[in-house]
Each structure stands twice: as structure tokens, then as C-alpha cells.
Structure 1
Amino acid sequence: MATRTPIEFLPALPTVVPVIKEDNLDPFLVAFSPSDPRNPLNWPTGRKWAVTDILSATGFNRIMVSTIMAPALPLIAKKLDMNSAEAAMALSIYLLATAFGPLVIGPLSEIYGRKRVLHASNVWFLVWNIACGFATTKGLLIAARFLAGFGASAVYSLAGGVLGDVWRPEQRGRSLSIYLVIPLLGAAVGPIIGGFMAARTTWRWMFWSTSIFQAVMIFVAFTTFKETYAPFILQQEAKRVRRETGDQRYQTLQERFHAVQSSSRSRSVFLQALTRPVRLLFTHPIIQVTASISAFNYGTMYIVLSTFSSLWTEQYHQSVEISGLHYIACALGEVAGSQLGGPLMDRLFLYMRARSGGEEHIPEHRVPLVYVGAPLVPIGLFIYGWTSQYLVHWIAVDIGIFITMFGMQIAGLPLQAYVIDTYGEHISSALAASQFLKSLTAFLFPLFAPAMYRALGYGWGNSLIAFASIFIGLPAPLIIWFWGSRLRAKAVQSI
């Protein structure tokens, strides 16, 4: 059965004093009632979409910045006297930062709330992205890119947490698909914009233009984004009631569990929260399986994004501007996959729930959708590899990339939903653990991709990735399907 946060079913807190539980047994428990409008799960739909859309637009900009440099790397390398390895590092170091950032930012959002962490990370990212545009040495550019990536990484742990905060399981597919449509465009739109900027203006405008957009998003977030993390909302309300009544017995369920009245215990809880993503990654098979599949696909995607432009300029002898346009195929595949995968996941949710004859959703029922998308990934890679190897018409290559990206999205959505279903109020920490592996592969895979293609060519190089995709992407979900319920039971006890 799906893991649910206790606050979803607990009584409400009125304006001035706490409400007594319906059974009158605990008048000092600060909690939500099932229909409490302050519970983010009970918010009006418009407010839910507001916080979702803010994260989506913020994610678009931060992900776009990760790839916008790709077409301009030769130009930047020449201007800042960088060799090929240093140029690749300037691109990839941003992704390395997004591996480590969520390990800290995810747990902090479960201590200080989503809103504070979002605002702080927005400002941090803006400062260092501006610094990238003013960099005059390769060292400064690489350092600023790393620090900007650290701030950008907040969206990876916050987004899933916020979606889990405000949307119920039967709405998870649609909310994920709508949230993802804009950020997914960012990864592919970045090289398109970068290609035109590199050809028509200074490369520094790649960072200045995205910084202007980020400044606008900071203003929108400060005026629109509301706190979504229910335990934090209750905790703030409990503090208010204790202050107004002078009675320290008013506490939330979480406060009672952690006994936060003790300062030494508070430090212990803080350290436990900060180490939670690492513990999940090393001790929870659910995270290990889902993160391994997602990480491989994510690394493969960044191999494509980092080498796609050079394929068209070196093999097909197209201009930098035109080479950037081929990223449209990547974007279309990702958008089509997310928009089809979201509704399919919700339909599957309703079908599997009705079939099981119960009202509760079983997270393992997400798994069958993985097998709709997983086989498409190697098929697309085979088409992409061998059509580019023999210089077949460009449309065939783009079709291969479209199929690959489409399959990745269809297979990835249910895995992300499974983690959200399983980890309740610790969604951000769980997604941070998953993001660590994803960002690590996104950083490492592009580093060996040029050497792989030189040695094997595009045909056998992409075939090698396709065979690895078959080996990893098809058997691994069966672990969740057959043993997921037992693993979830152990997971809840050890978080």
C-alpha cells in the first residue's frame, strides 16, 4: 500500500487555538483535519498549478543553462585559452554540482520548508550565473559554473517534493507531465539558443540573458509561491499557538516523534536529516534500482546533448546555427513522451486500483508503464547510430533521437512517481539521492563520449549504449514489481 503522511488524516488547527481531535483524546495535537483548506493537498486547483508552474519555469531556465554552452564551446575555448578537456569541464562541471547540491538542499527543505530554500537557491544561482558572463579566465568560468550549478540543483529535489505535497496519487501523472514539459524543453532549447548566440553575438549573452530571465522568476516566486510542506506549515502553526497560549504541550506529530524540545535532540534530528539522502542511496534498494535506471538514461541523454552539434558540423558539414536546430528533435521526443506518459500513468492508476478491488493505490502498479517506454530507448539508439554512421538523410537521424528521448520519458515518469508514492514526507531527500547518480552520469558520460565515437564510430558507439540500456533498463524494474512491497515496508522503518 502507498505510504501516506499522517497529517493528511489528522484534525485541523483553527485560527487562534488548536482544535481537539474528533475523538477528544488529544486536545494538544496540532494537526490537519481531512478537509482543512490549509493542507496543501486541499488547496484550490489554481493555487496548486501556480506553485507547479513556478517550479516548472524555474527548472526550464536552470536546465537550459546546463546545455546552452554546447555549441559555443570551441569559441569559448579559444577566447579563454582552454584545451578540449578544460572546455568539456566548463560544460560538465555544472552537472557535477547538481549531483552534490540536492544532497544538502533536499533535507534542508524538509527542515526549513520549500519556500525558503527555493528563494535562497534562486538568488544564489542568479549571482553565479551572472559571474559566468563576466568571467575573464578559464578558472573563474569553471568555478562560477560549479557554484551556479549548486544553486540550480535545488529544482531537482524541490520539484518532486512540491508535487508530492500538493497533488494526490491519482493526479500525479498529469501534474508530472505538465511540470516536465517546460524544463524538458530547456535541455534541448539551450543548444539552439546557444548556437545562434555564438554565431551572432558574444557568448557572454548566454549567461546574461538567462540571468535576466532568472531575475524575473525570482520576483514571481517571491510574490506567488506559497509554502507547500505540510509538516513545516503545522510546525509554524504550533509555534504560534504555543507563543499565544504559553502552553508548551501543543505540538505536531512530527515534533512529538523527534522530541524537538531538547536542544541536543534537535541537533541530532538536523544531522539525521542532512545525512538522509546518502543513507537512502546506500541502504535502500528502491532508490538504488530506480536511480540506476534513471541515471543511465540521463547520462545517455547528455551524451546526445553534448555531441549532437559536433555530429552535424563535422560529419554533415552544417553550420553551427543549423546544427542547433536538430535539438528540436530531442525536445519533441521528450515533450511527446511526458505528455503521453502522464495521462497514461493516471489511467493505469485508476485501472489497477479498480482491478485490485481496493481504494488504496499500490506503488508497484506504476511499473508496467516502464515497459512501454524502456524498449524504445535501444531501438532509437540503433537507428540514430547507424543512420549517422552512414550519413543517411538527416531526418532519419532525428527520428532515431526522437524515439530515444520519447522512450526515456515514458519509462522515467513511473519510476519518479514510484519514489514519490513510497517516501511520503521525505520525497525531497529520496529524489536528492536519485539525482546524485543522475547528475554524476550526466557529468561523466559526455567526458568519454568523444573518445568512444572516435574509436567505434557512431554506429557501434551507440549500439554499445543500446546494449547496455537493454541490460539495465529491462530486468531492473522486475525487482520492484516482485519485491517492491517488502522493500517499501523496510524502507519506511529505516528512513
Structure 2
Amino acid sequence: MASTTLPHDSPEVVNASSPNDVELAPVTSRSKQEDPFLVAFAEPFDAENPKDWRTGRKWAVTDVLSATGFNRIMVSTIIAPALSTIAAEFDMNSAESAMALSIYLLATAFGPLVIGPLSEVYGRKPILHGSNIWFLIWNIACGFARNKETLIACRFLAGFGASAIYALANGVLGDVWRPEQRGRSLGVYLLIPLLGAAVGPIIGGFMADRTTWRWMFWATSIFQAVMILVSFTAFQETYEPLILRRRAERIRRETGDARYYTADERIHADKSAARVLGRALTRPLRLLAFHPIIQISSIVAAFYYGILYIVLSTFSDLWIKRYHQSVEISGLHYIAVALGEIAGAQLCGKLMDVLYHRLKARANGEHAPELRIPSVLPGAFVGCVGLFLYGWAAQYGLHWAIVDVGAFITMLGMQVTGMPLQAYIMETYPEHTSSAGAASQFLRSLTAFLFPLFAPTMYEVLGYGWGNTTIAFIGLVLGLPAPLILWYYGARLRARAQASF
């Protein structure tokens, strides 16, 4: 990112207590009337402002991310039914076969820490296209692996590219949708990706019995190739500072006047490209280490995300070993998981918007990120009820439909908990949404990687009843106090973060 020479008489556009504060501090810019050389979006409407795009263009960008997310998330679980076949072919022990599945998730913990900040320097579009191609190459390579080392390595590299969807989604949705549309946009975006984790084992179960496991990677690679072509035509740049920077460069070139600048250029005017990049790349870890809002919301979201992967990794074994069903039929039970997630996302999307409008009206029309927090509490209760039902129904071998209803309710509750926390992070860190999302995703992906490792032992020792009951009680301990802390102290924590970053 090249620095721009700015006139010495240009007005100050940033108020911060030190040079380090400006990364996350709100940018206070003068209006165009006060400073004719400031390049900013026109108010109340600017055709180049992603938030002012026509609705169809916004949905096109959102849908590209959604479909891309579906494929990348599906790849994380599609090989689960074929693990025994892969293990036999490559002479893998149980730990190595589990690693072939979960190493992909470990990569999604570290990928966003790099990809998210890069999108805040170079823009969303080149990062999306680059990650698409990276993922395609290594996913194809998985299908051609001839030994376990190659398979595990290629899975990790594919997961690194796939993780871009976690880094970009928050940023792009924050770029194009206003707070009043947050619930609906998140609900629609999540509609397809949520199917991915649950549909993967279903598709994988049928493919495992009818063809080679390698076609699991080749088939998803074909879909990815199609999505690359679509993204090149349908996805437009949404990152506001980059769009304005290009506008300023065009004006300077056309007028020959170097005094035109953007607020973002003013912030970084005295920094080298290496320093800008270095601070961007360390931002997610700094947010995670020093910002209580990120810490609290990430811990809660990570715990519930880990539960999701406990269910995904053990659900098939439950039906095969306890209910003596075939691999194909066991995969069909993941439909209950998928439906629960979809229902939760759509219900929560509407709930979030309704509550937001009512709470904003009570606050005399003033927007605050904390208006998202009340939507979290119902999900904490509902998810725990689902875990109780699922666990004890499985423990006593009750009819399969009761177990599926329990899984459905569990997934519904976790979505109702997770979506408002995601919206809260997006609106608390509007300048660096992707970095904040990357910080949160780091813990979520770690629990997705680690929780399935102890889940089989937990169920073996405690059984499904007490195992799920233990998880549910921990969920209540985390899921009830945390939203209350954010509700009462969130504004204070935000103010402190902006002053001390």
C-alpha cells in the first residue's frame, strides 16, 4: 500500500491519543463543505458506496460468498464416512485418520489471521479470487494423494485457502449492509453454508459406498471451479477505503492536483507500506489479546462451535453402533442438524431485526452495538434443552425421531446464540471487521479441531446422557453471564479499547 503525499495545510481528520490509536479509533473527518480536498462518499447517496448499491447487486455479492462458503465448509466434513476406507488404504492409525479430517479445521484457525488483515490492505476482491484458486489447487491435490503424509499436508493447505470465507464474510457483509438489515443479510448469507457441514457427511456416505473416496475431492473441486468463474463476474470490490483511494487517485490524475486525499490515506501518510502491512497482520492477535469484547464474545461463540463439531463427528457413530443402522442411513440423520441450523438462522435473523428496531426506538434512534445482545439469551436456553433431550434419548435408546428432534433444537439454539454475537463484533469494529472476525474465528476453529478429539472418550466414560448434560451446564455458565456483561459494560469496554489501542 503506497503512501500518499499530503499537503501540509490539510486539516486533521483523525483524533487519537497516540499514533497507535488510529488503527481502531473512529475516524473523524471533516465534511466536503469544510474541506474540498477530502475524498469521501457523498451523503445521503453515492452510487459507488457499497451501502448504497442497488439491492440486486448487494445480494449478488452476498450470494457468491454464500455459495463459496457452502463448498468450503462441506469439504471439512465430506470425508468423515470414508475415513475407515482411507485409513485402510494408507495404513493409518485412528489418530492419523482423525487428523486427516480435523487438520482442515486447524488450518481455518490460522488462515483468517493472515487473510482478514490482507483484505483490509489490498481489498476483498483480490483476496477472494486468490484464495479461491489456492483452495482449488490443494483440494484437487488431495484427490491425487498417494500416501497419508501428502493427504494430511494437502488438507491443511486446502483448509488455509478455505478459511478466507470466515475472514471475508464479516467484512463484506459489513461493507454492503446497514445495521437495520443485519439480521436478514446474515440469515440469507448463512442459509447455504450452514448446509455444508451437515450435508457433507450425507453426500460422503453415499459416495463412499458407490465410488472411490477420491471423487469426494474431485467433485467438490469441479464445483469450486464453477464458483471461481462466477465470482470473477459477479463479485465486486466492497472495501470502502480502497474504493475511495481509487477515486482519489483518479481525481489527482485527472486534475494534476496532489492535495486530494482520503481519510485512510491521511492516517497512513507517514507510514511505510511495510509498517502498514505489519500492523495489519498483527491486528487480529492484538484484538484477541487486549480487547475484552473480543475475548468474551469469542469464548462463548467458540464453545458452541465446538459443540457443533462434537455432534458432527459423533452423530454417525451413534446411529451405526447404538442403533445398528447402515452408513448411508446414518448420514441421513444429519438432515436434522442442517434443518436446525437453517431454522435457527432464519428465526434469529428476523428476531435480531425486530429487537434492534424496538430497542433503537427506545434509545431515541441512537445506534449501539449492544442492541444485538438481548437476542443471545434465548439461544443459550434453547440449545441446552436440545442437548438434554438428544443426550438422554440416545442414552436410553429411544426412538430415532426423538434424538433427531433433540439435535434439531440444539442446532437451532446455537445459531440463535452465535448470530447476534457475530453482528455485535461486526458493528463494534466497523473499520476492521475482517480482523475482528479473524480473531473470533481463531478460537472457534481451535474448538472445532480439539473438541472432537475428546468427544468419543467423553461419551464412552459418561455416556450420551451425562456427557451432553455436562456440556449443557457449561454452556449455561458461559452463555448467560457473558451477554449480560456485554449488555451492561459493552459501551464502557468499547470506549476503553478505542482510547488504549
TM-score band by shorter chain is: over 0.9
Q: Deviations over 1:144-197 (max 9, x none)?
A: 000000000000010011000000000000000000010001010000000000
1:246 to 256, 273, 292: 256
CA distance in 2, matches of 1:27, 1:93: 53
CA distance in 1, matches of 2:440, 2:396: 37
What is the letter of the counterpart of residue 297 of structure 1? Y
Contact 1:298 1:442 in 2 (8 A): yes
Partner of 1:33: 42
CA distance in 2, matches of 1:322, 1:233: 50
2:129 to 92, 116, 119: 119
2:300 to 289, 293, 300: 293
The Cα shift of 1:6 comes to 5.4
CA distance in 1, matches of 2:90, 2:397: 34
**What is the TM-score when the length of structure 2 is the normalising length?**
0.93
Q: Deviations over 1:369-415 (max 9, x none)?
A: 11111111111111111111111110111011001000001111111
Partner of 1:353: 360
CA distance in 2, matches of 1:360, 1:118: 34
1:470 to 476, 484, 487: 476
Partner of 1:212: 222
The Cα shift of 1:245 comes to 3.2
Q: Deviations over 1:270-300 (max 9, x none)?
A: 1111100000001000000110010000011
CA distance in 1, matches of 2:126, 2:26: 22
CA distance in 2, matches of 1:317, 1:77: 22
Aligned pairs for 1:23-422 (under 5 A) are: 23=33, 25-34=34-43, 35-259=45-269, 262=270, 265-356=272-363, 358-422=364-428
CA distance in 2, matches of 1:459, 1:348: 35
Contact 1:10 1:32 in 2 (8 A): no
Partner of 1:16: none
What is the letter of the counterpart of residue 467 of structure 1? F
CA distance in 2, matches of 1:166, 1:494: 29
Q: Deviations over 1:76-109 (max 9, x none)?
A: 1111111100011010000000000000000000
Gaps of 5+ in 1: 12-20
Q: Secondary structure at the match of 1:29?
A: coil
Partner of 1:14: none
CA shift in 2, pair 1:174/1:138, >3 Å = same
Contact 2:300 2:479 in 1 (8 A): yes
What is the letter of the counterpart of residue 70 of structure 1? A
Contact 2:26 2:498 in 1 (8 A): no
CA distance in 2, matches of 1:53, 1:493: 37
CA shift in 2, pair 1:241/1:494, >3 Å = farther
The Cα shift of 1:423 comes to 0.4
CA distance in 2, matches of 1:214, 1:435: 23
CA distance in 2, matches of 1:76, 1:467: 37
What is the letter of the counterpart of residue 102 of structure 1? P
What is the letter of the counterpart of residue 490 of structure 2? G
Q: Say what the alpha-carbon RMSD is for the aligned residues.
A: 1.5
Contact 1:423 1:492 in 2 (8 A): no
CA distance in 2, matches of 1:5, 1:483: 19
CA shift in 2, pair 1:5/1:338, >3 Å = farther
Q: Deviations over 1:297-351 (max 9, x none)?
A: 0011001101111111111111000000000000000000000100111011111
What is the letter of the counterpart of residue 347 of structure 2? L
Contact 1:69 1:206 in 2 (8 A): yes
Identity %: 69
What is the letter of the counterpart of residue 297 of structure 2? T
CA distance in 1, matches of 2:216, 2:246: 41
The Cα shift of 1:240 comes to 2.5
The Cα shift of 1:359 comes to 2.1
CA distance in 2, matches of 1:165, 1:10: 21
CA distance in 2, matches of 1:70, 1:473: 30
What is the letter of the counterpart of residue 444 of structure 1? L
Contact 1:173 1:341 in 2 (8 A): yes
Contact 1:10 1:33 in 2 (8 A): no
Q: Deviations over 1:212-246 (max 9, x none)?
A: 00000000000110000011111122222233333
> Structure 1 residue 433 and structure 2 residue 443: aligned?
no
CA distance in 1, matches of 2:168, 2:183: 17
What is the letter of the counterpart of residue 215 of structure 1? A
What is the letter of the counterpart of residue 36 of structure 2? P
Q: Deviations over 1:82-137 (max 9, x none)?
A: 11000110100000000000000000000000000000000000000001111110
CA distance in 2, matches of 1:76, 1:317: 22
Contact 1:99 1:153 in 2 (8 A): yes
